[in-house]
């Protein structure tokens, strides 16, 4: 009967008022980069162990965390439904950035040192003009450490997190790098790539050369200008990944890559090209040249079916599509 | 049981929000998983940066006789040259950042939706250096070595007393002859081998493997590990097939290890399935 005590529905007058109050509180909190008072209260209670802790950890992870003095506190989340005003590609940086900020706000409220097992989820809207960026994970506290002013965000399982901590490697955040650009006839390489073209359909700019190389009937030819254009986009995305990561750590494990090169047909004129690239990685901080203290034994599993040793990895949980990686065999 | 002492002090400092001053070298990027990172480190190497090379390529045109088995040399060359361009750009990036080699190289081919004759080739991997500055791990001509081995396989290869030299590959695009109408009629109701098909596949695969092997010899390798043979048709006519052989050429580290010094893998049976 406890359900009817605290978890009342919204059918009666008081319930509707409560629902309205909560909605207003969320609107205010998101606008002012705060948490609603009821969330704040719940997280405070969780921090003081007045209510049960809540964790995405599996029992094996709980075991390892406990043995290293790490306690789960609460499941914390951050969400940002983001509308792309001018760029789908760059929206990923801002969308994930906002979600991370909000996740940290909850982690801060619960007095955590870290958020582990952080999973990245996305929901695409039907119209394609906006998208949801959601993060959730388990806020944890290390025995003997004061609450952190800037809790680290670890997109790996609690098991991995503890294993890495032991080796002096701290998984501390998410970094996103993006870039997009147009290769068109009017402006050469859109936003200032290369030397630009002389413009016009009969010019000798990069887009004109692409057109010439594509026409080469019967000949094998690398399409150099398009390749250079495409590589410059990827380089810029990687440079941004690096720059964003540098603010939180000194290494990136980037398992998620997405890129596409689209052709935009135009009436009675040669086509434009749109290239975009997104790369997402887990940021770590570690001392260079630190060894791995554990001995590694080589084993061969004698199980015929899938076993914990040869099936599935718990390493990366990023979910973004990666059509570069799976777009076909070699 | 709570044993905070297992965690190194500098890791705890970072958790408190303090950035270590221990990293003047700056930042590395990689596409490693956590376990790959650990094993590359265990092998005595440090990642320094993602290396990417790509090539967008326009494939030439070639006629093939309807009823002949023949190599489509124009396409073979195209598929090889485009991959080689992507790989060499990746290698240049690695050399520029001072890498000893690249591990975990993935080589992909992507069709462009907007033009059937245009393919995009991408090579991506993580540049690594020996943590103690050992120079002996570079590839041929002092260039960074390349390898499609994962971090895990890289560690295991070193344990076996070998080091990677170069990713080697061979490509052969082949046109398989159509059968004549009379021959097809003759086969109706019979179980027979289509020998012209068998021969064509044999020939094409053989050519691809020979080319790969030649590359390995040129690199001065003792052998090639992880050989994979791909058969693919990149949106070509139905009787045109590419055979692509790829692997990592390896050489013993200084002198070959005495096999008795390599630990036997332990056999285990996991019971927590």
Q: Would you say residue A321 has pLDDT above 60?
A: no
User: Looking up tokens 């906006």, which residue turns up?
Assistant: A130
Other Cβ atoms less than 10 A from the Cβ of B259: the count is 8
Query: A37-47 vs A88-109: helix axis angle to the nearest 10?
Result: 50
Q: Which runs of consecutive H residues, i.e. helices, occur in chain B?
A: 9-15, 34-42, 73-96, 151-159, 181-187, 195-218
| Residue A187 pLDDT greater than 70, yes or no | no
pLDDT of residue A322: 33
Percent of all residues in chain B with a pLDDT value above 70, rounded to a whole number: 93
Least confident of A108-117, A249-258, A319-328, B211-220: A319-328
Tell whether pTM > 0.95.
Answer: no
Q: Answer yes or no: is pLDDT of B214 > 90.
A: yes
Q: What is the pLDDT of residue A24?
A: 92
Q: Mean per-residue pLDDT for A269-275?
A: 84
Phi, psi at B201, each rounded to 5°: -65, -45
Q: Which of A285, A327, A93 is nearest to B12 (CA)?
A: A285
- A181-185 mean pLDDT: 80
What are the pLDDT digits (tens) for A120-145? 888 877 777 788 889 999 999 988 88
Mean pLDDT to the nearest integer, A40-50: 90
* pLDDT (0 to 100) of residue B265: 81
Task: Please give the residue that has the higher pLDDT: either B63 or A5.
Answer: B63
Looking at beta carbons, which pairs linking B5-10 to residues 24 or more positions away fall under 8 Å? B6/A68, B6/A166, B7/A68, B7/A69, B7/A142, B7/A165, B7/A166, B8/A165, B8/A166, B8/A167, B8/A168, B10/A168, B10/A287
Write out chain B residues lying below 8 Å of A166, CB-based: 6-8
The CA distance from B76 to B173, in Å, is: 5
CB contact under 8 A, A245 and B27: yes
Give pLDDT tens digits for B136-178.
899 999 999 999 999 999 999 998 889 999 999 999 999 988 8
Q: Is the pLDDT at A324 greater than 60, yes or no?
A: no
Using CA coordinates, name the residue in chain A closest to B50: A238
Find chain A residues with C-beta within 8 A of B124's C-beta. 257
> Taking a contact as any Cβ pair under 8 Å apart, which residues of chain B between 194 and 253 contact chain A?
228, 230, 232, 234, 244, 246
Contacts of B50 (CB under 8 A, 6+ apart): A238, A254, B29, B30, B31, B124, B125, B126, B127
Token pair of A269 as six digits: 């004129």
Chain B residue whose CA is closest to A290: B41
Asked if B267 has any chain A CB less than 8 Å from its own CB, the reply is: yes
Stretch A185-211: mean pLDDT: 52
Q: What is the pLDDT of residue B11?
A: 81
B chain contacts of residue A292, beta-carbon cutoff 8 Å = 38, 41-42
Model pLDDT, residue B115: 82
Chain A CB contacts of B15 under 8 Å are 113-114, 142, 145, 148, 152, 170
In a mutagenesis test of the A interface, which of B8, B64, B86, B246 is the best target, namely the one with the most A β-carbons within 10 Å? B8
B52:A255 CB<8 A: no
Phi, psi (degrees; rounded to nearest 5) at A285: -125, 130
Q: Over the stretch A85-107, which tens digit does the pLDDT of each residue have?
A: 778 888 888 899 999 999 999 99
Substitution target in B34, B54, B83, B131 with the highest count of A β-carbons within 10 Å is B34
Place of tokens 């002949």: B68
Q: Does the beta carbon of B4 lie under 8 angstroms from any beta carbon of chain A?
A: yes
CA distance A183 to A206: 8
Show the CA angle centred on residue B159, arms to residues B154 and B160, nearest 5°.
100
Bridge partners (DSSP) listed for residue B134: none
Q: Is B134 on the interface with A (CB under 8 A)?
A: no
Percent of chain B with pLDDT over 90: 47
Shortest CA distance from B264: residue in chain A: A298
Kindly tell me if the per-residue pLDDT of B215 is higher than 60: yes
What is the nearest CA distance from A19 to chain B, expressed in angstroms?
A: 37
Predicted pLDDT of residue A311: 55
- Judge contact between A237 and A277, C-beta under 8 A: yes
Average pLDDT, chain B: 86
pLDDT, residue B198, reads 86
Pairing of strands A299-301, B266-268: parallel
Tell me the ipTM for this assembly.
Answer: 0.75
A219 contacts in chain B (CB < 8 Å) = 58, 60-61
Between A292, A302, A330, which is nearest B38 by CB? A292
- Which residues face A138 on adjacent strands? A75, A116
Q: Out of B11, B38, B57, whose CB is closest to A223?
A: B57
pLDDT grade, residue A327 (50/70/90)? very low
* B239-269 per-position pLDDT tens digit: 888 899 999 999 998 766 677 777 788 888 8
Range with the poorest average pLDDT among A2-6, A26-30, A123-127, B258-262: A2-6
Which range among A106-115, B8-17, B65-74, B92-101 shows the weakest confidence by mean pLDDT? Answer: B8-17
Higher pLDDT, A64 or A314: A64
Q: Which residue has the higher pLDDT, A3 or A212?
A: A212
pLDDT surpasses 60 at A260: yes
Residues 6+ apart with CB under 8 A from B116: B235
Q: Rounded distance, CA B1 to CA B13, Å?
A: 22
**Who wins on pLDDT, B152 or B18?**
B152
**pLDDT for A27 beyond 50:** yes
Beta strands in chain B (DSSP E): 28-30, 45-58, 70-71, 101-111, 118-130, 145-146, 162-175, 223-232, 240-252, 266-268
Q: Kindly state the percentage of chain A with pLDDT values over 70.
A: 82
Q: Look at residue B24 in the predicted model and tell me its pLDDT.
A: 53
Q: Which residue has the higher pLDDT, A206 or A187?
A: A206
Tokens representing residue A253 in the block: 């494990």
Tell me which residue in B33, B117, B272 faces A316 most closely, judged by beta carbons: B33
- Restricting to B residues 147-186, those with a Cβ less than 8 Å away from any Cβ of A are 155-156, 159
Q: Which of A253, A257, A297 is the best mutation test for B, with the most CBs of B within 10 A?
A: A253
DSSP 8-state assignment for residue A50:
S
B247 and B213 in contact (C-beta within 8 Å)? Answer: no
Is pLDDT at B95 greater than 90 in this prediction? yes
The predicted model gives B197-210 an average pLDDT of 90
Q: Is B269 on the interface with A (CB under 8 A)?
A: yes
Residue B103 phi/psi, 5-degree rounding, is -115, 165
Band of pLDDT at residue B60, cut at 50, 70 and 90: confident
State the residue for tokens 């361009």: B85
Do the Cβ atoms of A139 and A247 come closer than 8 Å?
Answer: no
Residue predicted with more confidence, A324 or A11: A11
- 3-class DSSP assignment, residue B159: helix
Q: What is the DSSP letter of A85?
A: S
Which H or E element spans position A112? Answer: none
């Amino acid at each position: 009967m406890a359900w009817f005590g605290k978890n009342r529905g919204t059918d009666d007058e008081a319930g509707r008022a409560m629902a309205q109050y909560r909605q207003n509180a969320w609107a205010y909190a998101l606008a002012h980069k705060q948490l609603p008072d009821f969330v704040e209260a719940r997280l405070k209670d969780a921090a003081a162990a007045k209510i049960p802790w809540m964790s995405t950890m599996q029992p094996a992870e709980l075991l390892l965390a406990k043995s290293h003095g790490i306690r789960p506190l609460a499941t914390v989340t951050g969400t940002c439904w983001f509308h792309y005003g001018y760029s789908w590609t760059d929206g990923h940086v801002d969308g994930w950035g906002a979600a991370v900020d909000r996740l940290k706000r909850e982690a801060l409220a619960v007095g955590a040192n870290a958020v582990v097992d952080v999973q990245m989820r996305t929901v695409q809207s039907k119209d394609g003009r906006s998208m949801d960026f959601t993060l959730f994970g388990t806020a944890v506290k290390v025995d003997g450490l004061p609450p952190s002013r800037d809790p680290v965000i670890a997109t790996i399982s609690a098991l991995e997190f503890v294993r890495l901590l032991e080796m002096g490697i701290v998984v501390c955040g998410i970094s996103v790098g993006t870039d997009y650009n147009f290769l068109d006839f009017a402006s050469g390489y859109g936003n200032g790539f290369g030397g630009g073209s002389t413009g016009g359909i009969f010019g000798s700019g990069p887009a004109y050369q692409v057109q010439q190389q594509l026409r080469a009937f019967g000949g094998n030819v690398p399409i150099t200008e398009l390749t250079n254009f495409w590589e410059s986009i990827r380089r810029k995305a990687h440079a941004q990944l690096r720059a964003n990561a540098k603010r939180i750590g000194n290494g990136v494990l980037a398992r998620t890559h997405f890129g596409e090169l689209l052709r935009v047909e135009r009436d009675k004129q040669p086509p434009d090209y749109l290239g975009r690239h997104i790369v997402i990685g887990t940021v770590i901080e570690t001392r260079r040249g630190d060894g791995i203290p554990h001995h590694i034994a080589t084993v061969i599993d004698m199980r015929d079916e899938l076993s914990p040793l040869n099936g599935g990895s718990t390493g990366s949980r990023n979910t973004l599509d990666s059509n570069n990686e799976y777009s076909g065999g070699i | 049981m709570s044993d905070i002492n297992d965690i190194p002090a500098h890791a705890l400092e970072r958790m408190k929000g303090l950035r270590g001053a221990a990293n003047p070298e700056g930042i590395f990027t990689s596409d490693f998983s956590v376990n790959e990172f650990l094993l590359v480190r265990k092998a005595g190497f440090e990642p320094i940066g993602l290396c990417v090379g790509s090539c967008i390529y326009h494939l030439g045109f070639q006629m093939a006789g309807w009823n002949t088995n023949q190599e489509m040399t124009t396409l073979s060359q195209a598929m090889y040259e485009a991959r080689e361009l992507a790989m060499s750009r990746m290698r240049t990036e690695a050399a520029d950042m001072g890498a000893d080699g690249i591990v975990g190289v993935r080589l992909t081919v992507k069709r462009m939706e907007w033009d059937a004759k245009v393919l995009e080739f991408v090579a991506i991997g993580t540049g690594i250096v020996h943590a103690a500055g050992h120079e002996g791990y570079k590839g041929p001509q002092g260039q960074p070595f390349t390898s499609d081995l994962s971090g895990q396989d890289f560690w295991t290869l070193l344990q076996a007393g070998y080091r990677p030299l170069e990713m080697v590959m061979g490509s052969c695009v082949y046109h398989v002859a159509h059968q004549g109408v009379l021959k097809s009629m003759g086969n109706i109701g019979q179980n027979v081998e289509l020998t012209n098909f068998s021969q064509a596949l044999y020939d094409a695969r053989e050519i691809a493997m020979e080319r790969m092997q030649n590359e390995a010899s040129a690199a001065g390798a003792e052998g090639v590990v992880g050989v994979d043979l791909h058969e693919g048709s990149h949106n070509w006519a139905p009787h045109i097939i590419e055979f692509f052989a790829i692997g990592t050429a390896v050489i013993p580290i200084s002198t070959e290890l005495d096999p008795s010094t390599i630990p036997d893998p332990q056999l285990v049976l996991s019971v927590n399935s």
